[in-house]
Structure 1
Amino acid sequence: MNHTATLLALLALLTLLGGCASREAMNPADLEPGRLPPPDLTLNIPGLGPCTDSPDRSLRIDSSQPVHVLVHGCFGSSGQFRGLAQVLAFHGQQSACFTYDDRAKLTQGADELKQAVQQLAAQSRVPQITVIGHSQGALIARKAMTASSSLTPLPGRPVDLRLVTISGPFSGIAAAQTCGKSWLYPLSLGLVPLSCYIATGPKWADITFSSRFIREPGSLAPQVSRYLKIDTDERGSCRREEGGRCVESDVIFSLDEQRQTLIESDARTKRVEVNAGHVEIVGDKRVAPKKLIAILQEQGVLRATAPARLPAFSLLLSRVYQE
Structure 2
Amino acid sequence: MKRIASLIALTTLLSGCATHQPLDPALFTIEQGRLPPADITLNIPGLGPCTDNPDRSLHLDSSQSVNVLVHGCFGSSGEFRGLAQVLAFHGQQAACFTYDDRNKLTRSATELRDAINQLADQTHIPKITVIGHSQGALIARKSLTELPLTSPPVRRPDLRLVTISGPFSGIASANTCGKTWLYPLTLGLLPASCYLVTGAKWEDITYSSRFILEPGVLVPQVSSYLKIDTDERGSCRREKDGRCVESDDIFSLAEQRSPLHKTDVRTRRVEVHAGHVEIVGDKHVAPTKLIAVLQEQGVLNPTRPERLSAFSTLLAQIYQANGF
TM-score tier by shorter-chain length is over 0.9
21, 29, 53: which one pairs with 1:24? 21
Q: Distance in 1 between matches of 2:14 and 2:182?
A: 19
Tell me which residue corresponds to 1:49: 48
Alpha-carbon offset, residue 153 of structure 1? 6.3
Tell me which residue corresponds to 1:121: 120
Tell me which residue corresponds to 1:173: 171
Tell me which residue corresponds to 2:241: 243
Tell me which residue corresponds to 2:219: 221
Q: Distance in 1 between matches of 2:8 and 2:167?
A: 20
Q: Distance in 1 between matches of 2:2 and 2:201?
A: 24
The two structures have a TM-score, normalised by structure 1, of 0.97
Contact 2:132 2:138 in 1 (8 A): yes
203, 206, 209: which one pairs with 2:207? 209
Alpha-carbon offset, residue 43 of structure 1? 0.3
> Is residue 294 of structure 2 the alignment partner of residue 307 of structure 1?
no
Contact 2:13 2:174 in 1 (8 A): no
Mapping 1:240-319, distance limit 5 Å? 240-319=238-317
Q: Distance in 2 between matches of 1:50 and 1:32?
A: 12
Contact 1:147 1:222 in 2 (8 A): no
Q: Distance in 1 between matches of 2:207 and 2:153?
A: 31
Alpha-carbon offset, residue 263 of structure 1? 1.3
What is the SS of the residue equivalent to 2:14? helix
Aligned residues between the structures: 319
Percent identity over the alignment is 70
Contact 1:117 1:154 in 2 (8 A): no
Q: Distance in 1 between matches of 2:261 and 2:268?
A: 11
What is the SS of the residue equivalent to 2:196? helix
Tell me which residue corresponds to 1:133: 132
Tell me which residue corresponds to 1:190: 188
Alpha-carbon offset, residue 126 of structure 1? 0.3
Q: Distance in 1 between matches of 2:156 and 2:54?
A: 32
Larger displacement relative to structure 2 (8-17 or 297-306): 8-17
Tell me which residue corresponds to 2:155: 157
Larger displacement relative to structure 2 (284-293 or 21-30): 21-30
Q: Distance in 2 between matches of 1:158 and 1:275?
A: 36
Alpha-carbon offset, residue 242 of structure 1? 0.8
Contact 1:24 1:284 in 2 (8 A): no
Alpha-carbon offset, residue 28 of structure 1? 3.5
Alpha-carbon offset, residue 286 of structure 1? 1.1
Q: Distance in 2 between matches of 1:96 and 1:255?
A: 29
Q: Distance in 2 between matches of 1:264 and 1:276?
A: 22
What is the SS of the residue equivalent to 2:169? coil
What is the SS of the residue equivalent to 1:15? coil
Alpha-carbon offset, residue 59 of structure 1? 0.3
What is the SS of the residue equivalent to 1:178? helix
Contact 1:10 1:199 in 2 (8 A): no
Alpha-carbon offset, residue 29 of structure 1? 2.8
Unaligned runs of at least 5 residues, structure 2: none
Alpha-carbon offset, residue 154 of structure 1? 5.7
Q: Distance in 2 between matches of 1:125 and 1:210?
A: 41
Mapping 1:31-42, distance limit 5 Å? 31-42=30-41
Change (3 A) 1:104 1:66: same
Tell me which residue corresponds to 2:96: 97
Aligned-CA RMSD value: 1.1
Moved over 4 A (4+): none
Structure 1 residue identity aligned to 2:18: A
Q: Distance in 2 between matches of 1:108 and 1:257?
A: 22
Alpha-carbon offset, residue 152 of structure 1? 4.5
Larger displacement relative to structure 2 (210-219 or 19-28): 19-28
Q: Distance in 1 between matches of 2:262 and 2:3?
A: 36
Q: Distance in 2 between matches of 1:309 and 1:259?
A: 37
